[in-house]
Amino acid sequence: MASIELNRIVHPARANSGQPPLVIAHGLFGSARNWGVISKRLSDLRDVVAVDLRNHGGSPHRSPHNYDEIAADLAAVINDLGGQADLLGHSMGGKAAMMLALTQPAKVRKLIVADIAPVAYAHDHTNHIEIMRNLDLTGISRRSEADARLAAVLPDAGLRAFFLQSLDLSDGPSWKLALDILERDMDKIIGWPDVSGQFTGPALFVVGGASDYLTEAHHAKITSHFSEATFHTIPGAGHWLHAEQPRAFVDVISQFLAD
């Protein structure tokens, strides 16, 4: 297992409190840039480092795309930052954060997992990969043009806007996603490895009240690995809870980090 150097966006603390940095790991098809607003709001008292996970954004494209490898990538970032950090992960990034906390618990002081559980899911996103791969990018110079073409096959405006944040227009339009690798390893992304570790530090699981990704049925599995787990539901929020209700999301994260 060899880690890769992840692209990262650093938001320096506005007033350094001596607290460890907060590392943020995005979900599938996301990027560090998606977390800009949240990162800035959380950087009052500590450095916030948002990363592009492998095969996303500005980070290298590398096989395989599984949680052992992604956790090793995050561990390398934390080593660069001094060896311990608070860690926040959403969806796929949340699984990677849990994997690191279970396998190298000394690197994680506090763990925050946004709307995901340590279980295998049936949500398969290969249809979205096909949509992106088949989008005709010829002559596109603005995201609005890509959005108009994408609307013909993807009516959800919010999902289109999310995907189009990974469209690179700087040197001819192309996706900043390793679509072939992500498709090949989709079973690992929606799955969960057989890991038996324990994390006994503070762990907060933030739940979207309108999402079915993390339900009370998952609590026993979570507490079997994370003995100090607490749960906070944001009413009405879906799976992309940080984008839908950023103020409520920042408030609960800030309180947990301050306690």
Catalytic annotation, pick one of 180, 187, 212, 224: 180
Active site residue 239: yes
Q: Among candidates 250, 241, 205, which has minimal Cα distance to 223?
A: 205
Q: Which of 11, 26, 56, 239 is catalytic?
A: 239
CA distance 91 to 109: 20
Strand-pairing partners, residue 172, are 170
Distance CA 104, CA 111 (A): 12
> 84: Cβ–Cβ under 8 A, 6 or more apart, which residues?
20, 78, 106, 107, 108, 109
The rounded distance, in Å, linking the Cα atoms of 1 and 258 is 35
Conformational region of residue 32, where left means phi above 0, alpha means psi within -120 to 50, and beta covers everything else: alpha
| Inter-residue contact 8 to 77 (CB < 8 Å) | yes
Angle at 30 between CA 29 and CA 35, to 5 degrees: 170
What's the Cα-to-Cα distance from 52 to each of 78, 131, 145, 163, 169, rounded to whole Å?
14, 22, 25, 15, 18
Task: Pick the catalytic residue from 31, 91, 166, 211.
Answer: 91
Closest C-alpha to 30, from 56, 58, 5, 54: 56
Residues marked active site are found at 91, 180, 239
